[in-house]
């Protein structure tokens, strides 16, 4: 029973709220000898494993530290270039730490605005007239549930495919939004939601649902 995250998209398609809930953290640290037996590449401002999957280091994982020194982009904190270091045999043995790529806020905003036209296209593609947009989107590792209110705000939940009751949970999140975001006099409509009360109540709601199911909220 895992809920991965909650997203709220405004009427105009901007991401106004996101909450990462229970994303399991995967981090692997391992020491390597020269020459390096996994293939790394620099893409999207990250050093990514592109081939050679083993010991829990999977293709798509990102290099986060070299010998305990954090990596930002392709540079170490002290300014050395990570990929260059890995080509020089005198730097070995070397300890590398990999983790699953984390989405930055910018990427989330980008993806949220990608979903917006997708949702609209789905309703156009429908063989039946006046179809709704995407309500559930399923993949092998997650399901995305989307609920659009009459006013055009979209509430989205990303959860494990087996997690039941997510449609009801979406309505509960809408309740919380109506209470703690809209009744907050300092919250401006269509702007990102930075309301602590909303966040804490949402957190409690998600935890209750995960622990004891949707019937208890």
Partner 1 sequence: MSRTGTKLDAKKVNSELFTLTYGALVAQLIKDYENVEDANKQLERMGYNIGIRLIEDFLARTGSGRCYDFRDTAEKIQSGFKIFLGITPSITNWSPAGDEFSLCFETNPLTEFVELPDNCSNLKYCNILTGVLRGACEMVQMEIACWFVQDQLKNDNITELRVKFVKRLEDAIPAGED
Q: Residue 43's beta-bridge partner residues?
A: 46
Q: Is 217 in the site for partner 1 (CB under 8 A)?
A: yes
Strand-pair category, 75-76 with 15-20: unpaired
User: Phi and psi dihedrals of 24, rounded to 5?
Assistant: -60, 135
Q: How far is the CB of 130 from partner 1 (least distance, A)?
A: 5
CB of 207 to partner 1, least distance (A): 13
Cα of first residue to Cα of last residue in the chain, in angstroms, is 16
Residue 194 binds partner 1 (CB under 8 A): no
Residues 32, 92, 142, 174: which binds partner 1 (CB under 8 A)?
Answer: 174
Interaction of residue 189 with partner 1, rule CB under 8 A? yes
Q: Is 132 in the site for partner 1 (CB under 8 A)?
A: yes
- Candidates 83, 136, 182, 191; binder of partner 1 (CB under 8 A) is 182
Closer residue to partner 1, CB minimum distance, 59 or 189 = 189
Q: What is the dihedral of CA 197, 21, 102, 142, to 10 degrees?
A: -140
Quick one: which of 177, 195, 198, 206 contacts partner 1 (CB under 8 A)?
177
CA distance 132 to 129: 9
Least distance from partner 1 to the Cβ atom of residue 12, Å:
10
Which 3-42 positions form the footprint of partner 1 (CB under 8 A)?
11
- Binds partner 1 by CB under 8 A, chosen from 130, 139, 162, 215: 130
Give the closest residue to 118 by CA, choosing from 161, 148, 151.
148
| Residue whose CB is less far from partner 1, 152 or 161 | 152
Q: Closest CB to partner 1 among 7 and 119?
A: 119
Q: What residues numbered 42-101 form the site for partner 1, per CB under 8 A?
A: none
**Chain centre to alpha carbon of residue 187:** 25
List 38, 63, 134, 144, residue binding partner 1 (CB under 8 A): 134
Q: Closer to partner 1 at the Cβ: 87 or 179? A: 179
DSSP per position, 158-177:
EE-TT---HHHHHHHHHHHI
Cβ distance 172 to 155 under 8 Å? no
Binding site for partner 1 (CB under 8 A): 11, 119-120, 122-124, 130-134, 148-153, 171, 174-175, 177-179, 182-183, 189, 201, 217
């Amino acid at each position: 029973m895992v809920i991965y995250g909650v997203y709220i998209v405004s009427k105009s398609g901007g991401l106004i709220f996101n909450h990462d809930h229970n994303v399991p953290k995967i981090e692997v640290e391992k020491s390597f000898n020269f020459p390096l037996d996994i293939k790394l590449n620099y893409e999207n401002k990250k050093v990514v494993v592109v081939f050679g999957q083993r010991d829990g280091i999977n293709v798509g994982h990102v290099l986060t530290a070299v010998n305990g020194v954090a990596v930002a982009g392709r540079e170490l904190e002290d300014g050395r270039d990570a990929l260059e270091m890995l080509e020089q045999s005198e730097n070995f043995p070397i300890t590398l730490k990999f983790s699953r790529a984390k989405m930055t806020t910018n990427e989330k905003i980008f993806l949220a605005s990608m979903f917006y036209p997708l949702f609209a296209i789905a309703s156009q593609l429908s063989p039946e007239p006046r179809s709704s947009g995407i309500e559930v989107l399923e993949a092998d590792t997650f399901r995305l549930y989307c609920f659009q209110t009459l006013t055009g705000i979209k509430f989205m939940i990303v959860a494990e495919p087996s997690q039941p009751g997510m449609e009801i949970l979406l309505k509960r999140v809408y309740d919380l939004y109506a209470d703690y975001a809209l009744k907050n006099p300092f919250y401006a409509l269509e702007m990102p939601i930075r309301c602590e009360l909303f966040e804490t109540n949402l957190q409690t709601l998600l935890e209750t649902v995960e622990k004891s199911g949707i019937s208890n909220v």
